[in-house]
Structure 1
Amino acid sequence: MNIRHLLEKDALPVKRVINEWWGGRDMIQMVPRLFFQHFNDTSFVAERDGEMIGFIIGLRSQSRANEAYIHFIGVHPGYRKEGVAGMLYERFFQTALANNEAVTVRCITSPINKASVAYHKAMGFEVVSGTENEDGLHVQSDYDGDGVDRVAFVRTITREDMPNVLCEEV
C-alpha cells in the first residue's frame, strides 16, 4: 500500500465513490473541493495497485496552536479491517505532530454511524461530554444545525505515541 498526499486531482475520484462507500448516504457535500486545494499537506490517500482504497482529510487549526482536526476519513468497503484507516490516522497524527511535542486531535461523526463511534473509541478517542441520547451516547445537540446532532471526539497525541520512522511505502 502506498500513502501519499491528497491532491486537487483527487476531488472528483473521491466524489465518485463517497456515496457508495457510505452505503448510499448522500455524503458528497462533506468533501468540497476547497479541502483538496488547501489542506494537501495534512490530508492523504491510500492506494493499492494504483487504486484509491482510502483517504483522510485533516488540518492543523489556525486558531488553536496545538490542535488538529480530522474532517473526513473513508475506506473502500472491500478493504475495511485491513488497517487502512489506522495507517491514514497514523500519517495524519505524525504530520500534526511535526512541530509539536503533543497535539489535541478532534473529530466528529454522526450518532447513527455506530461503526465510526466504535472505531474512534477503540483508537483511544474520548467522547466529549454532551447531551445523552437514548442509546446512552453523548451527542452535541444541533452541532451542525437544528436537529443535526454529532458525536464529538478528542484525543491527545504525543511523540511517544508514534513510531520513530514513517516510510512512504507502508
Structure 2
Amino acid sequence: MRPHITPGTIADLHQVLADHHRYWGERDLRSLHLDALVHEFGETWLVARADDGIHGYLIGFTTPDGTGYVHLVATRDDTRGTGLGRRLYATFAAIAHRHGARRLKAITSPGNTGSIAFHRSLGFEATAVEDYSGPGRTRVVFHRPLPFEAAVPGMP
C-alpha cells in the first residue's frame, strides 16, 4: 500500500521518537523533534502512513518572509529510495505556497552527503555557510523557488 500523507498528531510524533533509529540510524536527533512545532504548525507536520506504520515524516513551517522552512524530513529505513521523500516535500511545498511561501529552505551538516544529494536532486541550490549554527558549526543551506512540482523530475 502506498503511504497516505496527512498532517500528524502529537501521538505520531511520540511514535516517530519511539522508532527514531528507523529514521535516523545512529544519529540522535530526538532533541530537534519539538512538541511545539506540532502544536503551532500542525498543518505542516506531515506523516506518511500505511498499514504497517509511519513510513516517513516532514516537520516544517512557513516564515513571515515567505519561506517554507523544512526543519526535518526522514523516511523509514525500509522505505528509502521509493520517492516518498519527494512526495513529502511536494505536499509541504503546496501547503507552504498556500500560506504565502515563495521559496523553500532547509539545512544540513556538510558531512551529510545523502541529504545534500537528495536536496540537489529536488532542484535546491546548496551553499556552505560558516558559523551558521554557532562558532565553527558550518551548515549547508538549501534554497529553491516555488512552485515546486514543475522543476522536480519525477513529480506528477
**Inter-CA distance 127–26: structure 2 relative to 1 (3 Å threshold):** same
Partner of 2:146: 157
Structure 1 letter corresponding to 2:133: D
In the aligned structure 2, how far is the partner of 1:159 from the partner of 1:26? 30
Note if contact 1:56-1:88 (Cα within 8 Å) is conserved in structure 2. yes
Note if contact 1:19-1:27 (Cα within 8 Å) is conserved in structure 2. no
Provide TM-score, normalisation by structure 1: 0.81
Residue ranges of structure 1 left out of the alignment (5+ in a row): 129-138, 163-170
Note if contact 1:10-1:36 (Cα within 8 Å) is conserved in structure 2. no
Provide TM-score, normalisation by structure 2: 0.87
TM-align CA RMSD: 1.8
Structure 1 letter corresponding to 2:19: V
CA deviation vs aligned residue, 1:22-57 (integer Å, no higher than 9, x gap): 221111111121112111111200011150010000
Partner of 1:87: 87
Partner of 2:113: 114
Partner of 1:134: none
In the aligned structure 2, how far is the partner of 1:78 from the partner of 1:160? 25
Q: CA deviation at 1:10?
A: 1.7
In the aligned structure 1, how far is the partner of 2:63 from the partner of 2:150? 20
Moved beyond 4 Å, runs of 4+: none
Between the two proteins, the alignment pairs up a number of residues equal to 149
In the aligned structure 1, how far is the partner of 2:36 from the partner of 2:133? 19
CA deviation vs aligned residue, 1:102-149 (integer Å, no higher than 9, x gap): 611111011111000000001100013xxxxxxxxxx21121122222
Residue ranges of structure 2 left out of the alignment (5+ in a row): 152-156
Q: CA deviation at 1:11?
A: 2.0
Structure 1 letter corresponding to 2:8: L
Whether 2:31 is the aligned partner of 1:29: answer yes
Answer with 86-95 or 13-22: which moved more. 13-22
Partner of 1:76: 76
Q: CA deviation at 1:77?
A: 1.0
SS at 2:102 equivalent: strand
Partner of 2:130: 141
